[in-house]
Amino acid sequence: MKFGLLLEIAQKLMLARFKQTLVAAIGVTFSITMFVALLGFMNGLNMMLDGLVLNRTPHIRFYNEIKPNPNQPVDMSDTYSSYNNTIRSIKPNSSRKSIYNSAAMIHTLLNDERVLGVAPKVNTQVFYNIGNIDITGSINGIDVDAENALFSFEDYVTAGNSDDLKNINNSIILGKGAADRMLAQIGDVIQATTAQGNTVRLKVVGYYQSGLGDLDNVQSYTSLETAQKILGEPPSFITDIQVKLKSLELAPSMAIDYGDLFEIKADDIQTVNAQFETGTEIRNLISYAVGITLLIVSGFGIYNILNMMIYEKMDTIAILKATGFSGRDVNIVFTLIALIIGIVGGAVGLILGYLAGMGIDQLPFETEALPTIKTFPVDFNPRYYIIGGVFSLLTTYMAGYFPAKKASSVDPVEIIRGK
């Protein structure tokens, strides 16, 4: 039997029960629209939350860890070599904070094809002197160009310009929380004292706000040269080397390899943020679970509609089989009806889902905690549209297959005799 004839019969049956067909198609359209829009919106929010941490976190961080000396004098003494020595309240040894031979390390990392970029940093604790009050803070001396390229530093500068750190001597960009506590305005000069007792006057050239309140209350930024000058250290003084990789998954293995090579502490982003990563996976799982549930519910609705359509068309099925159509032909006819509903409803649903995402993406979303976000975030990843399209075809096919299989086994004689 020619496929064109079976397709024409399927179209006639659909038009004969146009309202039922329309309801089924609307069910598919609604489920696909909500699946695409909801998944894009929920994952857009997840990406925004992840970005608050991941955008400002290096994939690998190299630094000197402060820890107790493993070689205690009592263990090195021949007199007590055969004893089991127990030592309490061991104090950290006086290890250097700066990274030894940092220039060679940076050169080696930059020559690795897996490395996207390297950003050196000098970190120091300070006290901001406000009259008779000292406020605890942390100053990060950064390479401004590297921070902008690798960590989107400029995006989090809510007032002022990050380039002013390079162009203005002894300048500082204050964390928004720290600036509010000090009532410091752009252009003001503040005084800070380091733990070593060095006092320096710094000009405020901007505000920084990451969206993480605890961080913005203490962290501020200067240029690398200014931070070294505050500490009275030479240009080679570096306390942290931050590395961004081309592939995030490489971080754990590379941290171990380079940590052993450089004989230095190396933290990878997965280990440091293991709990955060688990939360992200759970949120994504919930998003997909909700979206796929919509599609499955829609599939049951289509099944019920097609089942009723087949029941009401039993006389038509009997006539088809009596005039020479096989059970397989009848099966194909009703499967085609289901697939046409899935294709048309799914296509319209994908278009409406995209338009709904565009609409959500234009809705204003402004909060002081997230200064870089102006509208609701939506993820337009093609993966959601592919999943939605495939699932619409799969659910409608399965919803049509079982009623069609039942219809193909109907005995036309019994139906005609019953009529």
The string of DSSP codes covering 321-365 is: HHTT--HHHHHHHHHHHHHHHHHHHHHHHHHHHHHHHHHHHHSB-
In this structure, the answer to whether residues 305 and 387 fall within a common structural domain is: yes
- pTM of the complete model: 0.66
Query: Does 82 fall in a domain?
Result: no
Q: How many domains does the chain have?
A: 2
Query: Does 15 fall in a domain?
Result: yes
Query: Does 297 fall in a domain?
Result: yes
pLDDT of res. 372: 66
Beta bridge partners of 92: 68
User: What tokens appear for 21 in the block?
Assistant: 């067909």
C-alpha distances (whole Å) from 177 to each of 161, 173, 211, 216 are 18, 12, 10, 5
Q: Which run of H or of E encompasses 372? A: none
In this structure, the answer to whether residues 191 and 289 fall within a common structural domain is: no
In this structure, the answer to whether residues 328 and 234 fall within a common structural domain is: no
In this structure, the answer to whether residues 286 and 256 fall within a common structural domain is: no
Query: Does 88 fall in a domain?
Result: no
Measured between alpha carbons, how far is 59 from 267 in angstroms, rounded to an integer? 8
For 126, other C-beta atoms within 10 Å of its C-beta total: 24
Q: Which residues contact 51 (CB under 8 A, 6 or more apart)?
A: none
Q: Which run of H or of E encompasses 54? A: helix 18-54
Contact 137, 192 (CB under 8 A): yes
Domain boundary among the residues 240, 267, 294 is at 267
pLDDT of res. 348: 92
In this structure, the answer to whether residues 116 and 244 fall within a common structural domain is: yes
C-alpha distances (whole Å) from 15 to each of 7, 44, 372, 386 are 12, 40, 52, 29
Beta bridge partners of 199: 193
In this structure, the answer to whether residues 67 and 209 fall within a common structural domain is: yes
C-alpha distances (whole Å) from 318 to each of 124, 335, 355, 414, 415 are 86, 17, 44, 9, 6
C-alpha distances (whole Å) from 18 to each of 11, 13, 199, 206, 374 are 10, 8, 83, 64, 45
Domain boundary among the residues 267, 302, 329 is at 267
Radius of gyration over alpha carbons of the chain, in Å?
33
pLDDT of res. 101: 87
Query: Does 272 fall in a domain?
Result: no
In 3D, which of 68, 388, 418, 54 has the Cα closest to residue 242?
Answer: 54
pLDDT of res. 90: 64
3-state secondary structure of 157: strand
In this structure, the answer to whether residues 171 and 194 fall within a common structural domain is: yes
Query: Does 202 fall in a domain?
Result: yes
For 45, other C-beta atoms within 10 Å of its C-beta total: 17
Q: Which run of H or of E encompasses 70? A: none
Q: Which residues contact 184 (CB under 8 A, 6 or more apart)?
A: 174, 178, 190, 204
Query: Does 84 fall in a domain?
Result: no
Measured between alpha carbons, how far is 148 from 164 in angstroms, rounded to an integer? 13
β-strands 240-245, 115-130: how paired? antiparallel
For tokens 């940076």, name the residue: 106
In this structure, the answer to whether residues 354 and 380 fall within a common structural domain is: yes
In this structure, the answer to whether residues 175 and 283 fall within a common structural domain is: no
In this structure, the answer to whether residues 199 and 117 fall within a common structural domain is: yes
Query: Does 109 fall in a domain?
Result: yes
* Residues of the domain holding 183: 60-76+94-267
In this structure, the answer to whether residues 262 and 328 fall within a common structural domain is: no
In 3D, which of 54, 88, 56 has the Cα closest to residue 72?
Answer: 88
Domain boundary among the residues 267, 292, 312 is at 267
Q: Would you write out the chain's pLDDT as a tens digit for each of its 419 residues?
A: 477 777 777 777 777 777 777 887 888 888 888 888 888 888 888 777 777 667 778 899 998 876 666 666 666 666 666 777 677 666 666 566 788 888 899 999 999 999 999 999 998 888 888 877 788 888 999 999 999 888 888 888 888 888 899 888 889 999 888 888 888 889 889 988 887 788 889 999 999 987 777 788 888 999 999 999 888 888 889 999 999 998 888 898 999 999 888 888 898 888 877 666 666 778 778 877 877 787 777 677 777 776 777 677 666 777 777 777 777 777 788 788 888 888 888 899 999 999 998 998 888 877 665 666 778 888 888 888 898 888 888 888 887 777 777 767 766 666 665 55
In this structure, the answer to whether residues 199 and 305 fall within a common structural domain is: no
298: left (phi over 0), alpha (psi -120 to 50) or beta: alpha
